[in-house]
């Protein structure tokens, strides 16, 4: 099968590598986002997909605006391919482009469609506390992740998985599912299944306000926000911003299957949390667990801050944070709104 691969971030690399190494696939070219400047430097940095494509001496197309780029459109029109494979490319494909390949444009989307259509399915399924998610391959249409579904693959989500962890799982799953999807398309044994639009949910792009922590929320909700929007969630402490990168939630009603995933040292401390009865002010430090870090009062339950990062500093464990700043019982973390 002759393919053109559309993708940009590291998430797409497993799928591109699969296409490059598979004996039945021939990648003719790669389409990716333009090089970008990172940090304070002036050097242009290629996307991870471009960097890999260059090592294989593949033609690389980097249109600023795909729909309007004459060079790219001419190349796509003149190159006979069986399918365009699209994984986290980052631009909308016009109907003309969708109609060019013989078998259409095949996308691997990081959710179980029609749930979590949109740009950030990994982040929002974690925020919502899901314990299972997966990948759906589909034939793309002009809508936002609305095309007919081809195959689905599933994976579990651990209580301590964050967006980075889950992305790694789904990237591997996407490559495997794309391989099966393309081979079955070639063999003409796949029957596309229309999505049920009445069951659709959406995963919009994240905005700055999504990262702000509010200690009136439950410990489990805060934990899901922090791991879902990793590594961006922010609170206030002693007048400055602090990122909260990893946490451990506790609530007397935490389901056994979730509680069993917590570290033993924290579980041993949980009877003390139950005895405290949730009477401390929101965001205040009620205890400091040796070797782990400070425990804060949430709107429901308690949250241990496992990894934190002060502005301009490296991430550090909650235990090192507590010792380095000499935290005291009763000190309080403010909401994220206080440092925006």
Binding residues: 111-114
Q: Which helix (H) or strand (E) holds 324?
A: helix 318-324
- How many other CB atoms sit within 10 Å of the CB of residue 308? 25
Tokens representing residue 315 in the block: 């991430």
Cα–Cα distance measured from residue 192 to residue 266, given in angstroms and rounded to the nearest whole number: 47
Give the rounded distance of the alpha carbon of 19 from its chain centre.
22
- How many other CB atoms sit within 10 Å of the CB of residue 93? 22
Residues comprising the binding site for (6S)-5,6,7,8-tetrahydrofolate?
111-114
Place of tokens 């451990």: 248
Strand partners, 137: 108, 151
Q: Tell me the chain's radius of gyration from C-alpha atoms.
A: 23
Strand partners, 12: none
Tokens representing residue 301 in the block: 């339950």
Residue 207's contacts (CB-CB under 8 Å, 6 or more residues apart) are none
Strand partners, 105: 84
């Amino acid at each position: 099968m002759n393919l053109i691969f559309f993708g940009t971030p590291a998430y797409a690399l497993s799928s591109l590598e699969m296409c490059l190494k598979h004996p039945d696939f021939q990648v003719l070219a790669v389409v990716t986002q333009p090089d970008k400047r990172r940090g304070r430097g002036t050097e242009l940095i290629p996307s991870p997909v471009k960097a890999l494509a260059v090592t294989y001496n593949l033609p690389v197309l980097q249109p600023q605006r795909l729909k309007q780029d004459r060079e790219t459109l001419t190349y796509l029109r003149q190159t006979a391919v069986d399918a365009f494979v699209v994984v986290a490319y980052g631009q909308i494909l016009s109907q003309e482009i969708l109609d060019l390949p013989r078998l259409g444009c095949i996308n691997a989307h990081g959710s179980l469609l029609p749930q979590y259509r949109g740009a950030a399915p990994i982040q929002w399924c974690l925020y919502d506390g899901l314990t299972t998610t997966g990948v759906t391959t589909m034939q793309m249409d002009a809508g936002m992740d609305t095309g007919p579904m081809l195959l689905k693959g599933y994976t579990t989500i651990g209580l301590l998985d964050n967006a980075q962890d889950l992305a790694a799982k789904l990237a591997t799953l996407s490559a495997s599912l794309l391989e099966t999807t393309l081979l079955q398309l070639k063999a003409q044994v796949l029957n596309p299944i229309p999505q049920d639009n009445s069951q659709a949910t959406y995963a919009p792009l994240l905005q700055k306000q999504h990262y702000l922590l509010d200690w009136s929320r439950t410990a489990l909700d805060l934990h899901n926000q922090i791991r879902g929007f990793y590594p961006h969630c922010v609170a206030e402490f002693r007048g400055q911003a602090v990122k909260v990168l990893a946490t451990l939630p506790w609530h007397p009603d935490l389901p056994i299957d979730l509680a069993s995933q917590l570290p033993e040292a924290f579980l041993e401390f949980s009877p003390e949390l139950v005895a405290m009865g949730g009477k401390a002010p929101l965001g205040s430090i009620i205890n400091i667990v040796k070797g782990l870090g400070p425990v804060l009062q949430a709107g429901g339950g308690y949250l241990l801050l496992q990894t934190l990062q002060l502005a301009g500093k490296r991430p550090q464990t909650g235990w090192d944070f507590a010792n380095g700043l000499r935290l005291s019982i009763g000190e309080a973390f403010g909401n994220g709104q206080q440092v925006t």
